[in-house]
Structure 1
Amino acid sequence: MQKTNYGQARLSIVPMRAKPQHSSEMVSQLLYNETYTILEEQEEWLRIECLHDGYQGWIAENQAYYISQEIFDTPFKRYNADVIEWDQQLEMNLFMGSPFYDIAPNLVPPIERICHAAQQFINSPYLWGGRTGAGIDCSGLMQVAFRMGHILLPRDASLQAKLGKKISWGTHKRGDLAFFKNKDGKINHVGLFLSPDSILHASAWVRVDSITKIGIFHKNSATHELAFIRRVRF
């Protein structure tokens, strides 16, 4: 496998870490067939930037798979089955959000695809940096669900909060995103409206809670303070 400046995930999950060491914090994950550019090499680690969201992190070189610039620059070749001869004799579980993965016909409205996808994660455990049903965080959940509606979101909630248009309480609807703030006023959480008074989000686990203009309530206790609502449509 000749080294290039481009790569592609050929495992079901490839952890991305904050520093070039296995004990470092996992900041995100590559899903099967996602592509990336290689920014730096340090011993047995590569610092990469994901093509789909621009997120950066370190991956172990022994989990990398190099591809040519031609394949990287051509979506058809990136995702065409002819390119994956290396995987022909392997069996693996593809997680929702991976290229090739689909859940509903294109005739289904994008927002319904998104909501349906998000609901498949209910009861999945919370995992910082996770993007699969084996463990997922709040912004990873939104990113993967919206991808099923063919909408690409950034990786972090603070970046997702900059997209779309702001919606006032009372005009929000199914498929809108609610953003929440900490005591310093910074965005630290995101969830998806399933109805005007119910929200799906990842907090300890993926669940559906009630929501008012004050914020999220779980078992009659306020857990997250609402900052604002945004509607993302492309």
Structure 2
Amino acid sequence: MQYGICNLGIVPMRFEPSDKSELVSQLLYGECFKVIEKRKKWSRIRVSYDKYEAWIDNKQYLEISQETYNDISKSNTILSGDLLEYVSDKNNNIYTIPLGSTLNGLEVLEHNFDGNRYDKVEDKSQLIKTAFLYLNSPYLWGGKTPFGVDCSGFTQMVYRINGHKLKRDASQQATQGDALSFIEESEPGDLAFFDNAEGDIIHVGIIMEDNYIIHAHGKVRIDRLDHSGIYNVETNTHTHKLRVIKKII
């Protein structure tokens, strides 16, 4: 088994080993992974954090030892705290890194970081404050950053920055936590999940106070939430059908 670490700001994770293949997620700076299949130009990886599997370009990561992988994966995660930060190498080359990048591998990568580390607060309301950092970020299928994010990438990163683990996709996240019977039982920071006509969960958002929800749909936006689903006041229509509300923490 081989192991690797992301030494660039954002690396695309693709469904197939091709630059033309669908973007399914992103690897952010400092994230570690196992290489479960290696080809001439591409590697299929399994991310340490959420066990998500996809293909990345062999030119876009650094190989590390199993010992280093274990040390970084088991240590308390330290994340970058601003929308955009940078690290520098011994030659003073600069690499920009997005919000939520992992800083545990700085020594291995021989990089310096002088920016802000995210200060985790044991307060559920902090989830909403973090979510606002992504407000108006454009929707991007497979995205996990303020420069492009999908619905479950948004919720995963907001929770991760605050020290709580969510799986990658909305349907996977819906298997976590405890179901609530009514919106009135929810608290800011709880997750609401939405399904399609076939009953498949396809969307997730973070519940706010007073029946509002923040979610990624076109962009990260705030809409109304009622027992039917998400109501867009700009179009006067329901855009998503409510399936279940989950309390994760």
The TM-score normalised by the length of structure 2 is 0.85
CA contact (8 A) 1:113 1:148 kept: no
1:218 aligns to what?
Answer: 232
Instruction: Note if 1:87 corresponds to 2:89.
Output: yes
RMSD (Å), alpha carbons: 2.1
Q: Secondary structure at the match of 2:134?
A: coil
Q: Map 1:152-171 to 2 at 5 A.
A: 152-169=165-182, 170-171=184-185
Q: Map 1:37-52 to 2 at 5 A.
A: 37-52=34-49
Which one-letter code corresponds to 1:98 in the other structure? S
- Paired residue total: 225
Query: Aligned partners of 2:76, 2:63: CA distance in 1, in Å?
Result: 12
Query: Aligned partners of 1:29, 1:54: CA distance in 2, in Å?
Result: 13
CA contact (8 A) 1:172 1:196 kept: no
List alignment gaps of at least 5 residues for structure 2. Answer: 79-86, 104-114
The match for 2:191 among 177, 180, 187 is: 177
Instruction: Note if 1:54 corresponds to 2:68.
Output: no
Query: Aligned partners of 2:243, 2:59: CA distance in 1, in Å?
Result: 42
Q: 1:79 to 1:208 in 2, by over 3 A?
A: closer
Query: Aligned partners of 2:136, 2:197: CA distance in 1, in Å?
Result: 27
The match for 1:112 among 111, 116, 125 is: 125
2:139 aligns to what?
Answer: 126
Which one-letter code corresponds to 2:131 in the other structure? A
1:32 aligns to what?
Answer: 29
Query: Aligned partners of 1:27, 1:165: CA distance in 2, in Å?
Result: 27
Which one-letter code corresponds to 2:162 in the other structure? G
How far did 1:201 drift?
0.2
Q: 1:60 to 1:114 in 2, by over 3 A?
A: same
Q: 1:43 to 1:7 in 2, by over 3 A?
A: same
Q: Map 1:129-148 to 2 at 5 A.
A: 129-148=142-161
CA contact (8 A) 1:46 1:61 kept: yes
CA contact (8 A) 1:33 1:79 kept: no
Percent of aligned positions with the same letter in both sequences? 38
The match for 1:205 among 189, 207, 219 is: 219
CA contact (8 A) 2:88 2:95 kept: no
Query: What does the per-residue CA deviation read over 1:209-231, in whole Å, with 9 as the maximum and x for residues that have no partner?
Result: 00101100112211000001000
How far did 1:110 drift?
3.9
2:60 aligns to what?
Answer: 63
Query: What does the per-residue CA deviation read over 1:161-191, in whole Å, with 9 as the maximum and x for residues that have no partner?
Result: 0101001211111010000000011100000
4+ runs of 1 displaced by more than 3 Å? 76-80, 85-88, 100-106
CA contact (8 A) 1:10 1:87 kept: no
